A and B are shown apart, each in its own frame.
Chain A
Amino acid sequence: MSLRVVVTGTGLATALGGTARETMRRALLGERAIGRLGLVTDPAFGELVGAEALPDDAVHPAGTWLSRADRLALSAAREALADAGIASGSDVELVVASSVGGMWETQLPLTHAFRDGTRSPGVSREALLCHPVSAPSDRVHELLGPFRSVRTIVSACSSGAVALGIAEGRIVRGEADVVLVGGVDAISLLTLSGFFALRSLDPRGARPFDATRAGLSLGEGAGFVVLETEERARARGARVIVEQAGFAARCEAFHITQPEESGATAEDVMRRALARAGETPRRVGFVSAHGTGTDRNDAMEAGVLARVVPDAHVASQKAQIGHTLAAAGAVETAMTGLALAAGRALPATGVETPMPGVRLADGTEAPTVALSNAFGFGGTDATVVLRTGGGDGRSAPSPPTPLAITHATVVSPHGAWDGPALAAVLSGARGDDVRLPDASRRIDPLSQLTVLLAERVREGVSDDAAVVASSAFGVTDRAAEFSLRVLEKGPRLAPPQEFPSLVPSSPGAYAAIALGLRGVSLSVADLGAGGVAALHAAIEVVRAEHAGEALVVAAECESRLAAELLSPLVSGRAGARGWGGAALRLSPTDGRPHLARVLRAEVVRGEIPTPPEGRFRLVATHETPEVRAFADRHRVQAELLPAELGTHEAGSGIAVAAGAGLVASGGAEIVVVLAPAPDRMGVVWLAR
């Protein structure tokens, strides 16, 4: 049986245009939308150049706050659904990549809250609901949904491509029929200041692959596609735009901002993606490069392209729409797909003096096969392969590899537990003493905790492993401190070494770097169900063979802003928040000893699925009406995490670890874990 994953709808909102049609019309003409950034009026930034996709005329009627990111995502997602001729519904899944969510709107209120106290009048609570990186996903679900599932993927600048890869994998394995998948990021003072601090911005506007290039230009935008199998598309009479023929991603595990000079990982990823698509490098006619315009990226990437696809023509859309961060991998892949469908390539623009050895596209090329590259901070490199004809399609996937939690740990203010001893977490007994690293400006407390947790389960882990991390709000206090400093001293004196920590995917990336783990590393966000979302994503990464096994980490650090503002507002949780988290090692069962097999792990938006036959114990992070109803229906008692562990969102991971401990210690044959959060429920089934 031959299966193809195809794109049946696209939606785009970029600086070139608010629709896919307008964006492509101008893109194919070689237009550049990089210019003076009118959004930023603070004179300390000087004349900033970038690519805005929306005017700054947002009106926020009471009760309907939409952030810039929300608006961009809604526009592109709506367009993609209409283009595919589908409404949302119970068979459509939603996957959204983002890295800063609603920070254009939330950065100032958070900075004021940090400086003046969380009750100060400068703090807009309505704005803050836009804050979590998972907020745009929830907004799309709320206003264009409902969708069968809703997921948020973060891997810095490769997020959009990784989201496409995850969606593709689900369709190939028959886990999803139709996926609306894309990415969004809006301009924010945080990213502007951060790239400014890194001295990465070219005041003349990004000129990727120019010999005299001097940096990137920040953009904003959203790009969504509808993916389904070709069979399903034809059966419902949908028009096929292009085939998404393959995907690969790996982690450089090298440095939090600098790419590997050799480009070895990027090369490996491109070759893997081609192999998965059953394609040869010679057939690649066009590459949509990552091409940020920085000295380092373009030098590395030009070398890789010359080695892997020397006959292909290259262009970077970042010369036209700026660097749209998490959206880039999705926006640029969608643009490439539309160009291929039109028998065209996208032209390289902004180049006055071409780098030697780079074959720039002029847009008249008519490729059949194209690549889209996206490389992220912290080193997750991704490539998507698109195709308009030929190729053999994929063979049916093998039956899913059974997976198990082979090691687990919890670290909390109440001590630490490992392995079967995790069963004691629920009893309220203290754990072992654990030494925490000293506070550092170089690496934030959340990343430190994430690395610590990963190290506790690292024994025997191969370097092919992935890291999948989750946190609800990231390092909000640090982000506010950074912003405050920019407000007080200007962006030139913003501390560059503190910026990478503020990207939500950094904690996982730091863990991959510290442990030398090269499997794709990514982060997810899903409020209080994040730990379950991370386990689910890890299962998918291993089943899709992007990594041999995975370390799953859910962590939250101490945060005044999260405790006093964000958790109560967004998670609906009050009470002593605390800090802590869990790490799980997820591996194929392979006959090796394990704590518990994982039968299921997902975050559901509707009914909680009926657990497998037989008696089970129920572990939950905390009690909600839904948890109580489930417990009553199945005539079990919900065993809750003790108050000493805190009320933070990494409880979702802690509950899974505790459940695995219960199974491993012989306390239960089956454990169901529930992690409730607003409008969703993390559900995990563990078995002996």
Chain B
Amino acid sequence: MSATLEALQTLLVEELELPGKKPSDLDPDVPVFGEGLGLDSLDALQIAMSIEERFGVRVPEGKEARPIFQSLRTLAAYVDQHKPS
């Protein structure tokens, strides 16, 4: 499991105050929105802002963001690809 993926799990639990959840409870392969982790549009914006703050990576908005937010794993891959070295 990549360090970025673990960092994202922690970020989600902290930023979104997911009750009773440990970072390792978040399934890295389920959809982030709707059925999977059940997050909404406001959560998406909050995560995007936190990712920008912590990793220096700008996540696109709107329709472009959908494939990136497919799962935590795809999100981590995007962050790893775009991290300033």
Q: Which residues of A contact B (CB under 8 A)?
A: 197-199, 255-258, 295, 440-442, 489, 492-497, 500
Contact = CB atoms under 8 A, between A and B. Distances in A.
B42 A199 contact: no
Interface of B: 15-17, 40-43, 45-46, 48-49, 52-53, 61-62
A199 B61 contact: yes
Given A441-B17, A442-B17, A256 B42 contact: yes
B49 to A, nearest CB: 6
A257 B46 contact: no
A489 B50 CA distance: 12
Contact of A492 (B15, B17, B46, B49): B49
A493 B45 contact: no
Q: A interface, by DSSP: helix, strand, loop or mixed?
A: loop
Contacts of A489: 53
Contacts of A495: 46, 49
A442 B43 CA distance: 9
12 contacts: A197-B49, A256-B42, A258-B42, A442-B16, A442-B17, A489-B53, A492-B49, A492-B52, A493-B49, A495-B46, A497-B16, A497-B46
Given A442-B16, A442-B17, A496 B40 contact: no
A496 B42 contact: yes
Contacts of A197: 45, 49
Contacts of B40: 255, 258
A464 B42 CA distance: 27
B16 A496 contact: no
A440 B17 contact: yes
A493 B62 contact: no
A497 B42 contact: yes
Given A258-B42, A440-B17, A441-B15, 11 more contacts: A198-B42, A199-B61, A258-B40, A493-B49, A494-B49, A496-B42, A496-B49, A497-B16, A497-B42, A497-B45, A500-B42
B45 A496 contact: yes
Nearest to B50: A495
A295 B62 contact: yes
Nearest to A296: B41
Contacts of A295: 62
A497 B41 CA distance: 10
B32 to A, nearest CB: 15
B57 to A, nearest CB: 12
A441 B43 CA distance: 12
Contacts of B42: 198, 255-258, 496-497, 500
A257 B41 contact: yes
A442 B15 CA distance: 9
A452 to B, nearest CB: 17
Contacts of A258: 40-42
A500 B46 CA distance: 12
B12 to A, nearest CB: 12
Contacts of B52: 492-493
Contacts of A255: 40-42
Contacts of A198: 42, 45
A198 B62 CA distance: 11
B41 A493 contact: no
- Ordered nearest first, which 3 A-B pairs have the shortest CB separation? A496-B45, A497-B46, A199-B61
A420 B48 CA distance: 50
Nearest to A442: B17
Contacts of B15: 441, 497
A260 to B, nearest CB: 12
A256 B45 CA distance: 14
Contacts of A500: 42
A42 to B, nearest CB: 18
Contacts of A497: 15-16, 42-43, 45-46
Nearest to A257: B42
Nearest to B58: A492
Contacts of A442: 16-17
A199 B45 contact: yes
Nearest to A256: B42
